[in-house]
Structure 1
Amino acid sequence: MKGLNYFHPLVWSILLGTIFTRAASFMTIPFLALYLHNELHATPLVIGVTLGAAQLFATFGGIFGGYLTDKLGRKLVIIFTIFVWSGVFIGFALVQNVLLFIILSSLNGLCRSFFEPATQALMIDFTEKEKRRRLFSIRYTSINIAGVIGPVLGVWISSLSSAVMPFVITGVMYAAYGFVLIGLLNHFEMRQQLASGRQTLPQMLKVVGKDTKLLLLLAGGVLISLGYSQYDSTLPQLVNLSVEEGVKLYSILLVINAAIVLLLQLPISVYTEKISSFKSLSFGMCFFAAGFILFNMASSWALFIIAMIVFSIGEIFAFPMMNAMIEEIAPDTQKATYLGASQLKNLGGFIGPIFGGWLLTHYIGEIYYVMAVIVLLSLVFYKKALSMNKAI
């Protein structure tokens, strides 16, 4: 990578903004359940509904946000969304009513489903085709950097002040980034090819819904998301059941996951640029499957740690490729729409904890062998999409 000249200045700015805003988000979102329980005295069911609402709106709002981004332009959607998002976090700090909190949580998911396809599409507009895989890898690294910084800051700020202060600071940070974006997007001339003014959302949905390649990629993504959702649903339970001080070990496993991703993301991304997207994804699924099998066999700290290292390498190979493959099949005038549609793969995140919980209850000895098979099956859908589109 040839230094700062490798990407357009606007792309670097958005990547830095990704670290800034994701770190702000990580100060609060991982602790929402605790906040609802301790401050609003919400029941487990209400907490589940609140957190699930964000995921639901993020999943199905993506294609609508992507459509508006292609239709109205990146600038309008990005700037409008970031300021609404700022208000959502300020709202989290102010409201004491659980129903209002659920509404704000839904808006949080909706804002993410609008903002992320729009900023990804904006970076694509300013990035040459041969550099886009690297772009998705670096963006993924940026998110993981934020994932290390944010929770630590959230705990520290809460310990110094109050439980609501991280929400206030996050809202202020989002607003500040919004003003930076106004300056940036006014400074650089947009390169977007706007979608046809006559095409309505139902017509766009019909076109996207008939794209068999996209549907195959989404089906494969759902299976991967179903498997990966075990990471923070059934895995902590399995660890706690399998070893002494399981909660402590799971905390260590989280740190190991973040450290492996940060250390190996760049060298692995350099290697994946030399091979096909499908080959990179295949490596990822094989590492995922191996990690799952090791988790299933583990009964000691050492084996759980080895399993997490293997699992994390799979994450590095696989995750940047999922969006990269969708971007590669998207028409130039529908980049954000297709990236928004990619949010539908998060359906696996709904199904996974439920299915995994059932397996954990009835088939604990086989749970991750099943998950290994599921993630490997995703390759069937990706391979079929590949056969229909030699550009992938």
Structure 2
Amino acid sequence: MKSHLRGIHPLAWTIILGTLFGRLVSSMSIPFLSIYLVRHLGASTTQTGMTIAVSSLAGVLVSFYGGYISDIIGRKKVMLFSIFGWASVFVAFSGSTVLWMFFVVNTLNGLCRALFEPTSRALLSDITSPDKKLLIFNLRYAAINIGVVFGPLVGAQLGSTENTFPFLLGGIVYVLYGLVLIFQFSRNRDTLPVPERVEAPRLREAMAITGRDPVFLPVLLGTVFCVLGYAHFGSTMSQYLVLSPHFTNGGKLFSYMLSLNAVIVLVVQFPLVRSTRNLPPVVPLMIGNLCICGSMLMFGAAQGVALLMAGVVVFTVGEVLIFTMMDMLIDRIAKPQWKGTYFGTIGFNGFGYVLAPVMGGMMLDQFGAGSGPALFIPLAITTALGLPLLWLAHRRLMAREAAEAKEEQPCDTIAG
């Protein structure tokens, strides 16, 4: 294990550690934004849902372009531009006072995230040898969850549901992250690989590359529904807990649920990855989808804290199976010269993040928070719509790899 860790590129460590601290400060503030808007700005749950959703909508609209442009002009330029833009966004959050300001700033938040995230993941793929990619993607995911273990607890202590000061701390951390990236890019410029590229096509042609991929397309559509179910935990759940008559001090309870979610990720992530790594790569996503559906039913039935926390455990197992294996799946099916494009295009599954707060907010406005089953059973059903699409992707991937193996076999025989 130590030899594997020593072989990790310094820039990869920078991204992993930057992800940890970035997610720490963002989870101090962003998850509580919906509660703040409802409590202190008097926004309705529908208005709040739209304000939260606009970040994901903006991200979806440019996520493909973020990965695509990094294939053309380079990872460094895109990452540095977006990270300092992100820092400015968090400072702007801290100075916002009315609903429209939060709407605008959260739009910019989504744009910066959509530029940085696929580009940083593509860079991790570029600078990591094939035998270490599963380790790297899992270290990045572990870093996310270490940050989320402590972020909500710190945010609750700083009064994130009552003020915007934690956003200012986030801006400072992202500035520091950007400065470290500048240093590491400069220090390691001679060791960075130059990815193989074909002549840069127009954006429409680049979209067609992924759109014509018979495996990638159902993966993309199926994970929209996975993300939809996952996103309700961070949007609909927080508002439900604050408004539900079954729970007191919903904001603090939500912070405990977020931290438990992150702790469970750290406990089960590597055992789950080891136990499922030999499965066909789409199968863990299907199991994860079923777990998230089951957790929704548990949340809806909960009348107390115990069943809520049990639901968090089931939800977290599903989350781990989906998100730890998704990067490896995309890396496996992507054309080598278009990895940034594939990682950017999978960002279109962020439509799930767009739909979740709007759907949840409208349902809460319509039916209220008095009946958990009336809210969460429809959410579970919509999440399950991803299963047939993922099954189709599984069948097509198995057929493609069997055909490729058959084509290679005569060559191996001749060589022998």
Letter matched to residue 254 of structure 1: L
**Aligned pair 1:28/2:39, yes or no?**
no
Unmatched runs of 5 consecutive residues or more in structure 2? 405-416
How is 1:55-134 mapped onto 2 (pairs within 5 angstroms)?
A: 55-96=56-97, 98-134=99-135
- Match in the other structure for 1:306: 310
Of 351, 354, 361, the residue aligned with 1:350 is: 354
Q: CA deviation at 1:12?
A: 1.8
Cα gap change, 1:92/1:228 in structure 2, threshold over 3 Å: closer, same or farther? closer
Structure 2 CA distance for aligned equivalents of residues 319 and 289 of structure 1: 16
Letter matched to residue 118 of structure 2: P
- Match in the other structure for 2:16: 15
Cα gap change, 1:244/1:84 in structure 2, threshold over 3 Å: closer, same or farther? closer
**Aligned pair 1:215/2:217, yes or no?**
yes
Contact 2:10 2:184 in 1 (8 A): no
Of 312, 321, 326, the residue aligned with 2:325 is: 321
Letter matched to residue 124 of structure 1: S
Structure 2 CA distance for aligned equivalents of residues 140 and 104 of structure 1: 26
Structure 2 CA distance for aligned equivalents of residues 241 and 378 of structure 1: 34
Q: Secondary structure at the match of 1:86?
A: helix
- Match in the other structure for 1:338: 342
Q: CA deviation at 1:382?
A: 3.0
Indicate the larger mover: 185-194 or 324-333.
Answer: 185-194
Q: CA deviation at 1:183?
A: 0.9
Cα gap change, 1:339/1:267 in structure 2, threshold over 3 Å: closer, same or farther? same
Q: CA deviation at 1:178?
A: 0.9
Structure 2 CA distance for aligned equivalents of residues 36 and 180 of structure 1: 34
Q: CA deviation at 1:296?
A: 5.0
Q: CA deviation at 1:353?
A: 4.7
**Aligned pair 1:386/2:386, yes or no?**
no
Identity of aligned residues (%): 33
Q: Secondary structure at the match of 2:262?
A: helix
Contact 2:225 2:385 in 1 (8 A): yes
Q: CA deviation at 1:133?
A: 2.3
Q: CA deviation at 1:195?
A: 3.6
Indicate the larger mover: 274-283 or 203-212.
Answer: 274-283
Q: CA deviation at 1:347?
A: 1.2
- Match in the other structure for 2:289: 285
Letter matched to residue 174 of structure 2: Y
1:142-176 deviation digits (Å, cap 9, x = unpaired): 111111222333344458xx934322222121111
1:67-122 deviation digits (Å, cap 9, x = unpaired): 11111001111111111111222222335465444332211100000001111111
Cα gap change, 1:306/1:378 in structure 2, threshold over 3 Å: closer, same or farther? farther
Structure 2 CA distance for aligned equivalents of residues 154 and 244 of structure 1: 20
Structure 2 CA distance for aligned equivalents of residues 253 and 7 of structure 1: 33
Cα gap change, 1:268/1:44 in structure 2, threshold over 3 Å: closer, same or farther? closer
**Aligned pair 1:228/2:239, yes or no?**
no
Q: Secondary structure at the match of 2:152?
A: helix
Structure 1 CA distance for aligned equivalents of residues 342 and 222 of structure 2: 15
Letter matched to residue 181 of structure 1: L
Q: CA deviation at 1:330?
A: 1.3
How is 1:48-59 mapped onto 2 (pairs within 5 angstroms)?
A: 48-59=49-60
Letter matched to residue 311 of structure 1: F
Contact 1:226 1:349 in 2 (8 A): yes
Cα gap change, 1:145/1:335 in structure 2, threshold over 3 Å: closer, same or farther? same
Cα gap change, 1:259/1:275 in structure 2, threshold over 3 Å: closer, same or farther? same
- Match in the other structure for 2:193: 191
TM-score by length of 1: 0.86
- Match in the other structure for 2:276: 272
Q: CA deviation at 1:335?
A: 1.0
Contact 1:216 1:385 in 2 (8 A): no
Q: How many residues align?
A: 390
Indicate the larger mover: 43-52 or 217-226.
Answer: 43-52
Of 201, 205, 208, the residue aligned with 2:207 is: 205
Of 254, 261, 264, the residue aligned with 2:265 is: 261
Q: CA deviation at 1:313?
A: 1.5
Indicate the larger mover: 253-262 or 113-122.
Answer: 253-262
Q: CA deviation at 1:243?
A: 4.6
Cα gap change, 1:151/1:244 in structure 2, threshold over 3 Å: closer, same or farther? closer
Structure 1 CA distance for aligned equivalents of residues 97 and 379 of structure 2: 40
- Match in the other structure for 1:139: 140
Unmatched runs of 5 consecutive residues or more in structure 1? none
Structure 1 CA distance for aligned equivalents of residues 90 and 300 of structure 2: 39
Structure 2 CA distance for aligned equivalents of residues 297 and 91 of structure 1: 39
Structure 2 CA distance for aligned equivalents of residues 240 and 309 of structure 1: 23
Q: Secondary structure at the match of 1:277?
A: coil
Of 372, 377, 385, the residue aligned with 2:388 is: 377
Q: CA deviation at 1:338?
A: 1.0
Structure 2 CA distance for aligned equivalents of residues 370 and 27 of structure 1: 31
